[in-house]
Amino acid sequence: MTPSPFFDLPVLVALWVGISLALVLLAVRRRMAGLTVGFVVGLSLLHVFGAFIHTLPWNPFRDSETTATGFSVSFIGLVGFAIGNALLSPHLLRGRRPRSPVSLTGGASATRICFTVGVAAYLLSFTPAMSLPSAGAVLSVGQQLVLVGFCLLCWQALRRGEWRRFWLLLAATLSFPLFTLLAQGFLGFGAMAMATVVAFASSVYRPRWHMAMLALVLGYAGVAVFTAYMANRSEIRSAVWGGLPLGTRLGEVATTVSGIKPISFRDEDLLNAVEGRLNQNILVGTAVEHTRMTGRYADGETIWMAVLALVPRALWPGKPVAAGSMDLVSEYTGLTFAYGTSVGLGIILELYINFRNVGVLLGCLLLGLFVGVLDRRARQQLDAGDVLGFVQWFLPGLPLLNVGGSLVEMSAAVAAACLLTFALRHFVNPRGSQAVPRARAPRRVVSEGSPV
């Protein structure tokens, strides 16, 4: 396949939006658990926004051809994901029914366990335990059990018809970006955590148009906040990484909030922010040009690393694999970055440098297949009342949403999640668990059936 010329970019952007909306609607209609929605949102954030600003006649950037080349490759990945997720994954689950609950199924008890383990994992990440073999991966994944706990709380609120509690829980997720900003200096981690819970909520809430309106509001607010954050990002990180008092950090956040303004795609601050952080197409396009010039590809090397990453370091102390991009971005794009700068590899770029467009298509097809299976099975377990069964399928799917990372990071985190859910499933004492709450009649009439 030859990358599309620049004049096809607006068409590809429109097709991307259409396919993404179709995937989201299909995922909600098929009663999935939100993993598919989260993946599509994450991939679109890194690729479609950057492509869109290059379709604007007044955009000030000179590398539109490189962006178009990269976006055409990314579009192949979206098509592959759609095929695997929407067309192939349902056939793997045909005729399968979730097992009857065999362990702790009480919604309240399982939720407390998720929060307890998640908070404990976060606290342990500041101790020497992080340096133990395999402990880092398990603790990192363990922290995501807090997100799983929030999802379960939302589900329980809907089962009981507690609408006010449900919306308060969603409002509480707004604190995720603030927390990661104050604690780590990063906005993106908290924003994706919030999006994960909202994606799950959108899959179980009715009527659907309420969540569609919420998505539009959050999308608009997110772009406005992101623009203000990028304008003040250096000051925030200096305060956080410099260990300054919480009051100073809050002051920098307040400065950022005061800089929020209405969205205008003629605003140079917005255009520069998107181009600098949300246009992964530039790296992909540059890699296409560089590898064609040099004739050098990874030829499956990083894929093999991802396979090796499945083996816990506790069993293989000398494993020659480490998380991160391992300078692959510079190696296959020819670009140089400032010392200490961390540049995410991204699944599209990584698949391309291994097996070109065919690798992007087939690799994303397999990702779509895996995400689809995990998404459906998680929801089936939840509907059957097996809450820990839901965790067993949902938690390993969360690392697959890290579309801006590397396959090594994905596979290592999935392996750690499987290990953790195995422990939860088999070593948690089911005594004292509570019955799954019965759905009560809603306090108001909804137009599309029950809340779950």
DSSP string, 337-357: --TT------HHHHHHHHHHH
Alpha-carbon gap, residue 401 to 45, rounded angstroms: 12
**pLDDT at residue 393, as a whole number:** 93
**pLDDT at residue 335, as a whole number:** 82
CA distances from 311 to 11, 283, 314, 318 (A): 43, 30, 8, 11
Alpha-carbon gap, residue 63 to 65, rounded angstroms: 5
Listed by start position, the domains of the chain span: 6-94+105-158+281-427
Residue type, 282: I
Alpha-carbon gap, residue 452 to 440, rounded angstroms: 11
Residue 21, judged by CB atoms within 10 A of its CB (0-12, 13-18, 19+), counts as: exposed
Residues 417, 124 contacting (CB under 8 angstroms)? no
Alpha-carbon gap, residue 274 to 276, rounded angstroms: 5
Burial 89-124 (b: 16+ CB within 10 A, else e): beeeeeeeebeebebbbbbbbbbebbbebbeebbeb
Q: What is the pTM of this model?
A: 0.86
Q: Please state the length of the chain.
A: 452
**pLDDT at residue 338, as a whole number:** 65
Number of Cβ within a 10 Å radius of residue 426: 10
Residue type, 101: P
- Backbone φ and ψ for 287, nearest 5 degrees, come out as -65, -40
Alpha-carbon gap, residue 291 to 357, rounded angstroms: 12
**Consecutive 10-residue averages of pLDDT for the chain (452 residues):** 58 94 90 92 93 90 87 95 93 62 55 87 83 80 91 90 92 92 88 92 88 90 92 90 89 90 90 90 93 90 87 69 66 76 83 94 96 93 86 93 90 90 72 42 40 36
In the numeric block, which tokens belong to residue 108?
């309240």
